[in-house]
Structure 1
Amino acid sequence: MGDEGDHTRLDLEVIREMGIGLSNVKKAFDGLDKLSGTYGDDFGNGDLADKFEDFAKNWELSRKKLTDEVDSLSKIAKAAAKAYEEIDHQLAEAIRGAKDPKTAKKGK
């Protein structure tokens, strides 16, 4: 039974780290410069510059959607880790109270 607690603790750490990692991904996406209007003159060809401009506009929209989703997942992972940790703490307190009747009586 001791192994189960170790797995639970490890999973909480993985969830917490996932939330932090996703926050870092969001920050990286937020830090990317806008592509539209930046490189048009560098292509030398009007059609190629127009295609790149279309790509850049689509990328900005897609990046915004992706950033929002990553941010939501990050918040969910962090909240889940916190909730599981609180439940774990409450269960530990309940077990301690069940093992020590004096403590259980003091809590009432």
Structure 2
Amino acid sequence: MSDLIVDYDLLNNSATQLSEIKKEFKELGEWKKEITSVVGASELQKAMTDFIDNWDDNRKKLLEDLDSVGKMVEGTRDAFIGLDNELAKTGKKKK
């Protein structure tokens, strides 16, 4: 029988980093008006608006995915902690 080793620090760090990345993407916010006001030509403004709208849609999807993965990492960590605690209790009862 082999031992399963879970790196709780890695899971904690991963959850923290995913949360920080999500925060950064979320805080990018609305910058469309700032960008398009700097661009003079109407054709360029339209192209920039289309690009920003596409970016906003993709950013929303990315935020959802970051949230999902973060929840999975936290759920995995919590499940292993719970299992570890249960196994520790069982081991103490046998002694």
Q: TM-score normalised by the shorter chain: which range applies? A: 0.7 to 0.9
Matched, 1:58 2:59: no
What is the Cα deviation at residue 62 of structure 1? Answer: 0.5
What is the Cα deviation at residue 81 of structure 1? Answer: 0.3
After TM superposition, the score normalised by the length of structure 1 is 0.77
**Bigger mean CA deviation after superposition, 79-88 or 43-52:** 43-52
Larger Rg over CA atoms? 1
Question: Of residues 61, 67, 89 in structure 2, which corresponds to 1:93?
Answer: 89
Instruction: Note if contact 1:29-1:63 (Cα within 8 Å) is conserved in structure 2.
Output: yes
What does residue 44 of structure 2 align with?
A: 48
> Deviations for 1:44-81, whole angstroms, at most 9, x for unmatched residues?
22211111110000111110110011011111111210
- State the AA in 2 paired with 1:77: V
Matches within 5 A, 1:96-107: 96-98=92-94, 100=95
- CA RMSD in angstroms comes to 1.7
- The CA distance in 1 between the partners of 2:52 and 2:93, in whole Å, is 61
What does residue 16 of structure 1 align with?
A: 12
Matched, 1:74 2:44: no
Ranked by relative contact order (alpha carbons within 8 Å, sequence separation 6 or more), the top structure is 2
What is the Cα deviation at residue 35 of structure 1? Answer: 2.7
**Bigger mean CA deviation after superposition, 33-42 or 56-65:** 33-42
What does residue 31 of structure 2 align with?
A: 35
Identity %: 26
- The CA distance in 1 between the partners of 2:35 and 2:24, in whole Å, is 21
What is the Cα deviation at residue 12 of structure 1? Answer: 2.2
Matched, 1:83 2:79: yes
- State the AA in 1 paired with 2:68: S
